[in-house]
Structure 1
Amino acid sequence: MKSLVIKFAQPLPLLLLLLLLPPKLQGNYWDYREYELDPEFYDLLREYESTGPTKPPTVKRIIEMITVGDQPLHEDNYCNTELKIKQIHYKGRCYKEHYIAGVPYGELTKACHGKRVKCKNGVKFCRRSMHLIEGVRCVLEEGQRMSNCTYKTILMTGYPVVTCQWDEEIKDFIPNHIYNMSLPK
């Protein structure tokens, strides 16, 4: 009778690590109830660990991601600073392109009632605002992970092309992502 032997590349360090962990740390280490993690931090950890779709962002997070921050849009380093401060990324990876509107969110919501237009990147449909706004296009120059992203800041004036989602609280559509800023003709 042959015995089944499972080989690991370096079993001893892994075994020692597991044996040295206190009983409370074995199992699901990131159980926020057990360790009283901040719920937002727990959501961030879950996003990094997951392989499936991410949890939809809150309205507060959407506003933070697509509207202007504290510094003026005209700064050359605007995208590098704002995207790091606001932690704008997808599971720790840099966005290749990101748009930020230079108007208050309430003004941007009008775009959800604009003209229906074709989208890019496989998105089914978008809405284009009927109003010109100033904004910033952040284009990735180098880097792959969030801490190493370097963006080029391009100041633009155009019609924001957005996707919208239903907001149950206000019973209306709200923009959740800016896909483009089409230039005036």
Structure 2
Amino acid sequence: MCTLLTSKSLPLLLLLLQPLPLQVLMLHKYPYFSEEMEEKFEDYWDEIHSSGPTRPPTKDSFQKHVILEADFKLHDSFLCTHEMLSRNVHTRHYCRKEHFFLYMTYEELQKTCYNMYVACKNGVRKCHKTKKLIEGVRCGLTEGSMMPDCQYETTYKKGYALITCRWQDDIGDIIPDYVNNILEIPGK
């Protein structure tokens, strides 16, 4: 009789033991979160713990992770380490092996998406090359594997940026997706 009771109660017991939804937990742990902050936290939490692909980049995320404003000193040797950490540039908390920051406006870079295809650094012909020389930095990982222990070497570059682009449905436009390389021109 005891076995019959426990076998029928097991599904009910399992339902009762499921973890509480994140929203309920956050109300008790983080009562000072605004609705917007809660939403950002939930998105961040989902991205870190998901096993699927990350969400496609958006115009805002690309600007945040790639574009440098006019007040940056491109020759600062700590620029990459500082910016990678402060801008939260990583892949599920793993350090990126390579990243580029560009010193140009987003609007100029977006126009590049309409240029003809050229070969990327890996030889695949799906990059677009800027028409003008641009300035930027290449960040190469020197030590660490997980955030915040990532240390980067900052290398100043002047040349043509190679970028990939993708369509963003919600704004109905093609946007820069990834900086593949900065092709330096010998003698320039």
In the alignment, structure 1 residue 54 sits paired with structure 2 residue 51: no
Are 1:165 and 1:175, in contact at CA under 8 Å, matched by a contact in 2? yes
Are 2:58 and 2:175, in contact at CA under 8 Å, matched by a contact in 1? no
Percent identity, aligned pairs only, is 35
Partner of 1:12: none
Counterpart pick for 1:31 among 16, 22, 28: 22
SS at match of 1:44: helix
Partner of 1:73: 74
Q: CA deviation at 1:109?
A: 1.1
In 2: Cα distance, 1:168 partner to 1:103 partner:
24
In 2: Cα distance, 1:153 partner to 1:146 partner:
17
Bigger Cα displacement from structure 2, 54-63 vs 154-163: 54-63
Question: Which letter does structure 2 place at the counterpart of 1:68?
Answer: L
In the alignment, structure 1 residue 161 sits paired with structure 2 residue 162: yes
In 1: Cα distance, 2:21 partner to 2:77 partner:
39
Q: 1:120-159 alignment to 2 at 5 Å?
A: 120=121, 125-159=126-160
Aligned-residue CA RMSD in angstroms?
2.4
Are 1:166 and 1:172, in contact at CA under 8 Å, matched by a contact in 2? yes
Partner of 2:9: none
Bigger Cα displacement from structure 2, 32-41 vs 137-146: 32-41
Q: CA deviation at 1:46?
A: 1.1
In 1: Cα distance, 2:176 partner to 2:182 partner:
14
TM-score with structure 1 setting the length: 0.77
String of CA shifts for 1:5-45, please: whole Å, max 9, x gaps. xxxxxxxxxxxxxxxxxx8xx63456236635622221111
Are 1:115 and 1:130, in contact at CA under 8 Å, matched by a contact in 2? no
In 1: Cα distance, 2:185 partner to 2:171 partner:
31
Are 1:32 and 1:39, in contact at CA under 8 Å, matched by a contact in 2? no
Aligned residues between the structures:
161
TM-score with structure 2 setting the length: 0.76
Structure 1 unaligned segments of length 5 or more: list them.
1-22
Gap change, CA 1:35 and 1:27, over 3 Å in 2? farther
Bigger Cα displacement from structure 2, 114-123 vs 59-68: 114-123
Gap change, CA 1:126 and 1:68, over 3 Å in 2? same
In the alignment, structure 1 residue 88 sits paired with structure 2 residue 89: yes
Question: Which letter does structure 2 place at the counterpart of 1:56?
Answer: P
